[in-house]
Amino acid sequence: MARDRHDLAVPLDAARVVVAGLGVSGRAAAAALAPRAAAVVTLDDRAEDADLRHADDVDLAATDLVVVSPGWPPSHPLLVAAGERGVPVWSEVELAWRLRVDGPSGRPAPWLAVTGTNGKTTTVEMLETILRTAGLRAAAVGNVGTPVVEAALDPTLDVLAVELSSFQLHFTHTASPEAGAVLNVAPDHLDWHGGLDAYAADKGRVFEDAQVACVYNAADPRTEALVREADVVEGARAVGFTLGAPARGQLGVIEDVLVDRAFHAPADAPDRHTHAAELATLGDLAHLAGADGVVPAHVVANALAAAALARAHGVPAMAVRDGLRAFRTGSHRIEQVASVDGVAYVDDSKATNAHAASASLASFAPGTVVWVAGGLAKGASFDELVAARADRLRAVVLIGVDAEPFAGALARHAPDIPVVRVDPGDTGTVMPRAVDSARRLAQAGDTVLLAPAGASMDQFRSYAARGDAFADAARALRPDHG
């Protein structure tokens, strides 16, 4: 039988491996490979401890495998050349799948995998909390922080809640999750993928070879289409989640109750189609409500997706409820960091694309938001975002080295909204100047919201650093006693 182009031509212990990129996942991959491969060479043009600094120095004729970090696009000359020579290219996630060790059950810990344009981290952390509440030794891993390969080599874990980006999925070929979920698909990273269809297709890889369930967003036709296109293990089901009343095989909301009509009864139960299992109430999510006391729709959707994945693993309904009650969000996700003169300052720096920023703005009352926006556009347009959320805005403060895509959308769809552009020249003071401008525009009862809709790397080390700078600037404000 012919060798699959993604398989090694030699056993791993005889393989010569290049690890391209020494970020968190690259270093984890190199560490995992060191005792298992014949030779490991690291490549990074910025890491001083890398073996090679230039891709041109890689001898592909003497390379059996390239393990690539998420930031490297498939168009990179090294990866293109590797493909042409028949050298397999794996993500750290693919490496993790192939290196899995047996867990407490005597088999490798199953994966519950989550992807989507927005909501991945919240959903996977919700899922981890639910799994742990059910008494399972679980870990949230992947794009959320801990590299997947580290968790895959941990024999103490029962199950993994795996957050996967489209970058990671692109070079992942053989993973077979117990269940996978695509939360939503909206334009993002189009410069990396080359277009929306290619981006969506990479998201859809999370469904490939799913064993139990493919979880999709019933309000997002693209996610359902990805399920239909996926090759899954026989018997795996499509399970939708919806903010409305669920149809058969879905999870949803009836009045204020989150219910399960997918995993609530055995397939041969005579009353399966007339009953549902109650999972939780909106009151169980009250601690995640916005400033207006209402639980945002995207939070409910994330809870339903997490519940579906947990239920696919066999977690009882009560553990779902208790896990959602226990869950607390991390930093930089619609987090109020200060209140000055009756104005709330809210950090949602993790809203790094238009879809996330739209959900964030929708959490606030019309005409009450001074929006701090801007950053790397990643090839996206902001016309749809501004047109949909202009009613929420009192004013806008634009940051970033290239504010034009944002300014243009505002001029076209919200011409009456005041816009202040912060000079990007002094990066070190950009956020204090932005917060000061926002304060001047805000009125008592308003919210100054950092939901940038762009990536952070033009002026900040990460979205977290951007959010921290915003929080520091907001907390440094003094009440106006004049």
> Residue 116 annotated as binding?
yes
Asked whether residue 378 is marked as a ligand-binding residue, the answer is no
Consult the annotation and say whether 118 binds a ligand: yes
146 marked as part of a ligand binding site: no
**Reduced 3-state DSSP string for the chain:** CCCCCCCCCCCHHHCEEEEECCCHHHHHHHHHHCCCCCEEEEECCCCCCCCECCHHHCCHHHCCEEEECCCCCCCCHHHHHHHHHCCCEEEHHHHHHHHCCECCCCCECCEEEEECCCCHHHHHHHHHHHHHHCCCCEEEEECCCCCHHHHHCCCCCCEEEEECCHHHHHCCCCCCCCEEEECCCCCCCHHHHCCHHHHHHHHHHHHCCCCCEEEEECCCHHHHHHHHHCCCCCCCEEEEECCCCCCCCEEEEECCEEEECCCCCCCCCCCHHHCCEEEEEHHHHHHHCCCCCCCCHHHHHHHHHHHHHHHHCCCCHHHHHHHHHHCCCCCCCCEEEEEECCEEEEECCCCCCHHHHHHHHCCCCCCCEEEEECCECCCCCCHHHHHHHHHHEEEEEECCCCCHHHHHHHHHHCCCCCEEECCCCCHHHHHHHHHHHHHHHCCCCCEEEECCCCECCCCCCCHHHHHHHHHHHHHCCCCCCC
194 is in an annotated binding site: no
Would the annotation count 350 as a binding residue?
Answer: no
* Residue 223 among known ligand-binding residues: no
Annotated binding site: 116-122
Annotated binding site for ATP: 116-122
